[in-house]
C-alpha cells in the first residue's frame, strides 16, 4: 500500500498548537509563517509519496550489501538521495550562511516525519548528517566549518556519529579508540567503531565521520574523551577531494529491521592511522557529542510517530477491504469488512490516537526549540529551552515505545496475514523495534528525565508544565460540551498523578535511588502520556470552536472524537502507573538475585 502524508493533521498542529505565526515574528523566521509551512509540506509530500516511499519495500527485500570494502545501497536509493539533496531538503533547518534554508524546526520536524514514514532506512542517512551539522555549528572551528559545512548542508557529503565500540555501548567511559597528536595540529586515530549508521555507502561523494576518541595521556572515564572529524576522503585546500583516509568498513550488520540502512563496523588506523581534526577542545568531546545526540534523540522520536502513521494507514486500508463475519449488531446481514467490528475499531482508534497525540507533542516541542534559539527576549528563550529539554526524553521515549504498540496492533488488525511478510505489515513492526534502543534506550531516556530534568531542579520544570496543563483544564471547564467534560476529568486525574510522581522523584532520588529508578521508565511513560493527552485536549478546544463556525466539519469532528478516545482509553491509565511508581518500588527490587 502507498503512503499518503497526513498534511491536514500536521498543518493543524503547526497552526493551532505550535503557533507558527508567532514563530514567524521572531528574527530570521519572518518568511516562515503558515503559508510557507503549507507550501513546503506539500512539496515534501510529493517527493516522499512519489519517489522515496516506493523504495521502502524493496529496501527490506534487497538491503545494502558489502563487497571488497564497498557498500552498495538498495537499487534506487542513490538516485532518490540525489533528488532529495538537489531539492534542498538536507539543508531545510540549517543556516542560510552555509547554503541552508534556515526554516524553523516546527516545519522541519513535519518534513522529517514524512521522510521516515516514506522510508525509515533511507531517512537515517540525512538524520545522521543533521546531527553532524549541529555539532560542527556549535563546536567546530571556523576552518572546520568552512571545510565541511556547506557540502554537508547541501547533501553532497553525508555525516555519521561514531560512539559505540565492542566493549563500550551505553557506557562511553569505556571508549578505547585513541588519538595521537601530531606536530601539525592533526591527530592519528586508531580503533574500532561498531553500529555506525551509513558508515559506508555509495550515495554521496564523501562521508564525514564524527568520532569519539581518547587523546594519549587523557584522563580515564568520560572526562578524557575528545571529538574528531575524520573524513573518508581527505579534503584539499581548494575544497576538492584528495587521498582516501585510513578508515575502512570491515563488515555490515544483518539486522531485524531497517535492513536497507547499512550499519557498519569501521576500522580506523590499520595502515598508519586515520587523519583526524579536533572539534573544539580536548577532553570535551562528550559535551559536544551530546549536541548531536539531543538532535538525534528528538529525530528518533519523530521516527516513532512516522512508522506508527505508516502502520496505521496500512491497517485502515486492510480493515476496509478484508471481509470476515457479520457485525455483532446485525447492521449488515452478511459478512462485512472487518472495520465494522468494534474491537477492530478499538485497535484502529488506539493506533490513531497514539500517533496524533505524539505528533502534537513533537510539534509543540519543536516550537519551543525555535523560541529557545530565536526569541528576542532572554527570559522567554530560557523558559522554552527548559521546556524543550524536558520534552526530548518524552518525545524520544514515549513516541518510540508507542510505535511498538501501534505497529504490533497493525499486525494484529491483519490477523494471520499480518504474520506473512508479503503483506508488509510486519516490516513496520520490525523496523520500529530499534527506535526504543538506539540514541539511548528508553531506560537511558528515563534516567535523563529523572536525574537531569526532574531531580536536579527539584521538579520545578515539571511542575511548571503541570501548571500549564491546569490552564488548559480551566478552558475545558468553561465548555458546556460532553466531550470537553470527559477529557477534563481524565486530564485532571493524569496531571495529579504526574505531580505525585514528580514529588516522589524529586524527594527520593538521592536518599533512595533504587526506589526511584525502579519506576523511571513508568515515570517517562506517564509524563509522555500526559503531555500527548494535554496537546489533544488543546486540539479538542480548537476543533470545537471550528465546528461552531462550521469549518472543516469532518476533520474537526474526527479530531474531537480522537481526543476523547485518547482521554478515555490512554490517559485514563495514568493513575494506575502513579500507584506502581510511588507504591510499587519495593516489589521491583525485592527478589534475591539467585532467585532469578
Distance CA 88, CA 108 (A): 12
State the virtual CA torsion across 207, 208, 211, 217 in degrees, nearest 10: 120
Distance CA 59, CA 65 (A): 11
Strand partners of residue 137:
none
Which cell numbers hold the place of 231?
A: 573524513
Which cell numbers hold the place of 443?
A: 531506560
Distance CA 481, CA 110 (A): 31
Cβ(152)–Cβ(95) under 8 Å? no
Distance CA 535, CA 360 (A): 6
Q: Compute the residue count for the chain.
A: 596
Helix (H) or strand (E) holding 268: strand 263-268
Catalytic residues: 439
Distance CA 498, CA 319 (A): 36
Range 540-548 contact pairs with CB under 8 angstroms and sequence separation of 24 or more: 540/476, 540/483, 540/484, 540/487, 540/564, 541/472, 541/475, 541/476, 541/479, 541/484, 542/12, 542/16, 542/17, 544/479, 544/481, 544/483, 544/484
Amino acid at each position: 500500500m502507498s503512503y499518503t502524508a497526513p498534511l491536514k493533521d500536521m498543518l493543524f498542529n503547526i497552526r493551532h498548537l505550535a503557533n507558527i505565526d508567532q514563530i514567524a515574528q521572531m528574527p530570521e523566521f519572518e518568511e516562515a509563517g503558515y503559508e510557507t509551512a503549507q507550501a513546503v509540506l506539500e512539496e515534501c509530500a510529493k517527493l516522499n509519496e512519489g519517489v522515496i516511499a516506493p523504495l521502502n519495500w524493496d529496501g527490506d527485500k534487497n538491503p545494502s550489501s558489502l563487497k571488497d570494502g564497498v557498500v552498495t545501497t538498495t537499487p534506487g536509493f542513490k538516485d532518490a538521495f540525489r533528488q532529495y539533496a538537489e531539492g534542498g531538503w538536507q539543508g531545510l533547518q540549517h543556516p542560510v550562511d552555509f547554503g541552508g534554508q534556515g526554516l524553523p524546526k516546527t516545519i522541519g520536524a513535519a518534513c522529517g516525519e514524512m521522510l521516515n514514514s516514506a522510508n525509515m532506512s533511507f531517512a537515517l542517512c540525512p538524520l545522521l548528517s543533521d546531527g553532524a551539522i549541529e555539532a560542527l555549528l556549535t563546536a567546530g572551528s571556523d576552518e572546520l566549518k568552512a571545510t565541511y559545512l556547506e557540502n554537508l548542508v547541501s547533501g553532497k557529503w553525508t555525516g555519521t556519529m561514531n560512539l559505540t565500540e565492542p566493549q563500550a555501548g551505553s557506557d562511553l567511559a569505556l571508549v578505547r579508540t585513541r588519538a595521537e597528536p601530531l606536530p601539525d595540529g592533526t591527530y592519528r586515530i586508531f580503533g574500532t567503531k561498531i553500529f555506525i549508521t551509513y558508515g559506508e555507502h555509495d550515495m554521496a561523494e564523501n562521508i564525514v565521520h564524527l568520532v569519539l576518541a581518547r587523546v594519549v595521556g587523557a584522563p580515564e572515564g568520560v572526562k578524557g574523551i575528545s571529538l574528531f572529524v575524520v573524513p573518508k576522503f581527505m579534503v584539499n585546500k581548494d575544497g576538492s577531494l584528495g587521498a582516501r583516509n585510513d578508515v575502512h568498513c570491515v563488515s555490515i550488520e544483518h539486522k531485524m529491521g531497517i535492513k536497507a540502512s547499512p550499519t557498519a563496523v569501521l576500522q580506523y588506523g590499520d595502515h598508519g592511522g586515520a587523519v583526524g581534526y579536533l572539534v573544539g577542545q580536548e577532553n570535551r568531546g562528550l559535551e559536544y557529542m551530546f549536541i548531536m545526540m539531543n538532535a538525534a534523540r528528538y529525530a528518533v522520536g519523530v521516527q516513532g510517530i512516522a512508522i506508527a502513521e505508516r502502520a496505521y494507514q496500512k491497517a485502515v486500508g486492510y480493515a476496509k477491504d478484508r471481509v470476515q463475519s457479520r457485525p455483532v449488531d446485525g447492521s449488515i446481514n452478511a459478512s462485512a469488512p472487518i472495520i465494522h467490528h468494534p474491537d477492530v475499531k478499538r485497535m484502529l482508534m488506539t493506533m490513531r490516537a497514539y500517533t496524533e497525540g505524539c505528533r502534537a507533542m513533537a510539534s509543540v516541542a519543536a516550537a519551543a526549540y525555535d523560541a529557545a534559539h530565536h526569541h528576542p527576549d532572554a527570559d522567554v528563550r530560557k523558559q522554552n529551552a527548559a521546556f524543550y529539554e524536558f520534552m526530548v526524553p518524552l518525545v524520544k521515549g514515549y513516541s518510540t515505545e508507542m510505535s511498538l504498540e501501534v505497529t504490533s496492533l497493525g499486525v494484529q488488525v491483519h490477523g494471520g496475514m499480518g504474520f506473512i511478510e508479503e503483506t508488509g505489515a510486519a516490516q513496520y513492526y520490525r523496523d520500529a523495534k530499534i527506535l526504543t534502543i538506539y540514541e539511548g534506550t528508553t531506560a537511558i531516556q528515563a534516567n535523563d528525565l529523572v536525574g537531569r530534568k526532574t531531580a536536579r531542579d527539584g521538579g520545578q520544570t515539571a511542575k511548571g508544565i503541570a501548571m500549564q496543563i491546569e490552564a488548559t483544564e480551566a478552558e475545558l471547564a468553561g465548555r458546556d460540551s460532553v466531550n470537553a467534560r470527559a477529557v477534563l476529568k481524565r486530564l485532571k486525574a493524569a496531571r495529579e498523578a504526574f505531580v505525585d510522581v514528580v514529588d516522589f522523584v524529586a524527594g527520593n532520588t538521592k536518599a533512595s535511588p533504587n526506589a526511584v529508578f525502579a519506576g523511571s521508565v513508568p515515570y517517562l511513560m506517564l509524563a509522555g502520556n500526559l503531555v500527548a493527552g494535554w496537546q489533544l485536549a488543546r486540539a479538542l478546544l480548537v476543533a470545537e470552536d471550528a465546528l461552531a463556525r462550521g469549518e472543516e466539519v469532518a476533520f474537526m469532528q474526527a479530531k474531537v472524537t480522537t481526543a476523547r478516545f485518547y482521554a478515555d482509553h490512554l490517559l485514563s491509565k495514568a493513575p494506575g502507573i502513579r500507584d506502581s511508581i510511588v507504591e510499587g518500588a519495593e516489589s521491583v527490587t525485592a527478589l534475591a538475585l539467585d532467585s532469578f
